Structure 1
Amino acid sequence: MAQEIRKIKTHGELRECIALQEEIWGLDAQGTMSPVTLKALTFENPNMSVNLGAFVDGVLAGFMLVIPSFRNDMAYAHMFGVLPKYRNMGLGTRIYAKMMHELSDRGIRSMAGTFDPLECKNAHIYLNKMGAVAYGYVPECYDVECEMHKGLPLDRMLLSFPVTVEPPSKNLHDDAPLAMPDSMPEEKHVLVEIPRDLAGLKKADLERAAEYRMQTREVLSEYLNNRGYQAVGVVLPDDGATGRYLLEKGEAA
């Protein structure tokens, strides 16, 4: 199958981009980005954003939309996804690598973004592979109908990525103490447990998934928002049932 990574520009491609939002995240018409806004973000004079699509045999299979911020050296990763049937083909990696070159050429040195704190696979990709750190926690960040996250409030972690094609390697300390709502130690490093497979857990035991949301919300909000810690990686124990964020305390200002 022929693969191509390039900018999304035509009206037809923009319609495909909206359809992808519906299929990837289960967003309804109110939750997807409008074709008017998407079209405005494709303008090159003025330069509004970078909207890259991954095309497989001419069909849009994934995309990444990054928009500028009021910080000249930082951009915001608004959406990044690949259709389920096209995953595990390296498309996400190729889109991301192309985006890093595009941003670097524009003088962008870092990129912010958000993701669901209980999505272990995404945490592994963002923190371990892409070199991001999570520096904040936002309870109920979004108020939209979303089939993928139906049954749980849409909490999000705030991320900061370095704009580089060679993310720094990380040394993950898996022997740090485990933090829980009733026990939040003040150590250089602490671990916070999350489910390895959120979608599977929701299907099997939605009540348990909701408990994870509330427990991790309390712990991560305290460490990231109040104590100055960052989530610098995710440890993946051999048992396969859970993952554990590695939180690191920042240096005092």
Structure 2
Amino acid sequence: MVVNTEVRELTGVEELLAATDLITEVWQAEIPPVPFPFMRALSQAGAQVLGGFVDGRLAGVAVGFLGSDPDGTLLHSHVVGVREEWRSAGVGRAIKLGQRDWCLERGIKRMAWTFDPLRRANACFNLAGLGAMGVSYHADFYGRMNDAFNRGIPTDRVLVHWDLAAAGPGRSPAPAPPDSPLLDIGEAGGPVRRAVGPLPGEEVRLRVPALPPDDVSLVLDWRLALREAMQPLLRSGYRWTGADRNGTYVLTAPLDPLPSTQRSR
């Protein structure tokens, strides 16, 4: 069921304290991922601190700040969290659209954020739901973290860009033959990589589990396999353009492959 969500800026001390508590609760973290003094400073400085309210209750939070890259100014969305009882109720989407509106009102036409590529539901939401695109892979981006989602494994992240002027649903992959993925799920649940890499210009498909396995060693196997598959492709100009709930990821080849001397390192 989709609920009506009011998205607005958070500015008062009580609301910002509640936002700090919500994010800490969502991540099941020992230390607040966004401490209150930092949250307060961001809000005071004009950064993006938004709350999503359902029936007057704070159901989700977004925190972002201005950044830039060679293509110009963007908003970096540092964290978005939704309270468990309101997940799959449209609150997260309402908050992302609220972030987009906030940006466009200020002349900001792009957003960027990072997420864990092993979180399949997030991939579907970001790529297929919003139309964002994965542009680069970052191994152990945050280093060691001690929350429920990251404890004991490298914090690999994919950076996505979202063109706000063209925002709309993205691509869901079409069914593919079972032997086509570059990375697939083995009988024991671990990753299996195809021996031969993609041909020039070939679309690449990867298959991942619905959720990271409970076994930490198996999670680490998946982390390293996905890193080995995705990082060089994104570095060479491929873009992560599609994801579906069956676990298929699609990376699209660049229209004009970069010469080896121009590839990022």
| TM-score between the two structures when normalised by the length of structure 1 | 0.86
Q: Which residue of 2 aligns with 1:240?
A: none
Please tell me whether the aligned partners of residues 113 and 160 of structure 2 are also in contact (alpha carbons under 8 angstroms): yes
Q: Which residue of 2 aligns with 1:115?
A: 115
- Cα deviations across residues 60-116 of structure 1 (Å, max 9, x unaligned)? 221111211135541101111101112122111211222211111111111111000
Residue 178 of structure 1, aligned match among 181, 185, 193: 181
Q: Does residue 14 of structure 1 match 2:27? A: no
Residue 158 of structure 1 and its aligned partner are, at CA, apart by 0.7
Q: Which has the higher mean CA deviation after the structures are superposed, 173-182 or 97-106?
A: 173-182
Q: Which has the higher mean CA deviation after the structures are superposed, 78-87 or 170-179?
A: 170-179
Change in 2 beyond 3 A, CA 1:228/1:173: farther
Q: Which residue of 2 aligns with 1:195?
A: 209
Counterpart CA distance in 1 for 2:26 and 2:83 is 6
Residue 168 of structure 1 and its aligned partner are, at CA, apart by 5.0
Which amino acid is 2:222 matched to?
A: Y
Q: Which residue of 1 aligns with 2:241?
A: 232
Q: Which residue of 2 aligns with 1:207?
A: 217
Identity within the alignment, % = 26
Q: Which has the higher mean CA deviation after the structures are superposed, 121-130 or 86-95?
A: 86-95
**1:42 alignment partner, SS class:** helix
Counterpart CA distance in 2 for 1:150 and 1:129 is 28
Change in 2 beyond 3 A, CA 1:85/1:171: closer
Q: Which has the higher mean CA deviation after the structures are superposed, 90-99 or 31-40?
A: 31-40
Q: Give runs of aligned pairs for residues 43-192 of structure 1, distance below 5 A.
A: 43=44, 48-70=46-68, 73-142=73-142, 143-164=144-165, 166-167=167-168, 169-170=170-171, 172-175=173-176, 177-180=180-183, 181=193, 182-186=195-199, 187-192=201-206
Which amino acid is 1:184 matched to?
A: G
Any gaps of 5 or more consecutive residues in structure 2? 184-192, 259-265
Q: How many aligned residue pairs are there? A: 239
Q: What RMSD in Å do the two structures reach over aligned CA positions? A: 2.2
Residue 2 of structure 1 and its aligned partner are, at CA, apart by 7.5
Counterpart CA distance in 2 for 1:14 and 1:135 is 32
- Cα deviations across residues 14-68 of structure 1 (Å, max 9, x unaligned)? 1111111211112222x5222222112112xx6x312110123333221111211
- Cα deviations across residues 107-152 of structure 1 (Å, max 9, x unaligned)? 1111111000100000000000100110111111113211122232
Any gaps of 5 or more consecutive residues in structure 1? 238-242
Please tell me whether the aligned partners of residues 109 and 163 of structure 2 are also in contact (alpha carbons under 8 angstroms): yes
Residue 206 of structure 1 and its aligned partner are, at CA, apart by 3.1
